[in-house]
Amino acid sequence: MRLNRFLAAAGVGSRRGCDPLIVEGRVEVNGEICVDLSRMVDPGHDEVRLDGERIRLPRRWLYYVLHKPAGFVTTRADELGRRTVDDLIGSLRGRVVPVGRLDRASEGLLLLTNNGELTQRLLHPKYRQPRTYLVWVTPAPTSPMLEEIEHGVPLGRGERSGPAHVKVLGRRGSVARVRITLREGKNREVRRIFRHFEIKVNALRRVSYAGLELGELAPGALRPLTGREVEQLAAVTGLSL
């Protein structure tokens, strides 16, 4: 495979992000610095190093879904001592990484994998992977607000939300349950959308991502993807998984 693809698959970064590492002379192949972007490598025989550290592909690809509970941060370690997803995944700790993030107060579907190329492909804005959330808000958004959300609203700092599908599913007192689907991954985008209207988000759960469904998976529970789900990810990313 091409050298930048090898680095991406090993989790170093995106293919495009790996190109400068090669050009800058930070990558060695079989003990020699390689600055050739067209260089092909054999993962089974060639030795690749980045800044002197050996880079290897995993022996096998791992794909899991975690129902992240509220109160956990989506990082490998936290300098403030808060609970992280690593506290939930047991023996998988250090072998897989989360694809994207859910903020500490949010819960729901979090994909975990050791396939760096898949991670980059799922997160890249070019592929516009759908993300669906259930959101409990106060007060309920009005019809004009929903129409604005569907076309995108200012988020602050010069950003706008992308086009969305949004629907109020039900109301109980002053609280409304809203389903919203986005195709971008801006930081805390759902919360910022409702903040634009001065609507309070009481709870937020991601229930679907790139065609994967949370289903009845309990908070804190972890399960491997089925063969059909892996095929689904291959179909939406164009990768051979």
Average pLDDT of adjacent 10-residue blocks, the chain of 241 residues: 88 83 95 94 92 89 96 82 88 84 95 90 87 97 97 93 96 96 91 97 97 96 96 92 81
The predicted pLDDT at position 208 comes to: 97
The predicted pLDDT at position 173 comes to: 93
Dihedrals phi, psi of 197, to nearest 5 degrees = -100, 10
The predicted pLDDT at position 147 comes to: 97
Q: Is the four-CA dihedral 201, 219, 125, 93 of positive or negative sign?
A: positive
Give the Cα separation of 90 and 137 in Å (integer): 34
The predicted pLDDT at position 133 comes to: 98
Give the Cα separation of 21 and 25 in Å (integer): 7
Q: Which residues pair with 212 in a beta bridge?
A: 209
The predicted pLDDT at position 186 comes to: 87
Max CA separation in the chain (angstroms): 68
Active site residues: 103
Give the Cα separation of 177 and 66 in Å (integer): 23
DSSP assignment string, 160-177: E----EEEEEEEETTEEE
The predicted pLDDT at position 125 comes to: 80
Percentage above 90 pLDDT, the chain: 70
The string of pLDDT tens digits covering residues 87-101 is 998 888 778 889 988
Domains of the chain, first to last:
3-55 (3.10.290.10), 63-125+212-237 (3.30.70.580), 130-209 (3.30.70.1560)
The predicted pLDDT at position 222 comes to: 95
Token pair for residue 209?
A: 């991502």
Strand locations in the chain (E): 27-29, 32-33, 48-50, 53-55, 63-68, 97-98, 107-113, 131-138, 154-156, 159-160, 165-172, 175-182, 200-209, 212-213, 222-224
Give the Cα separation of 176 and 192 in Å (integer): 17
Q: Work out the number of other CB atoms within 10 angstroms of the CB of residue 137.
A: 22
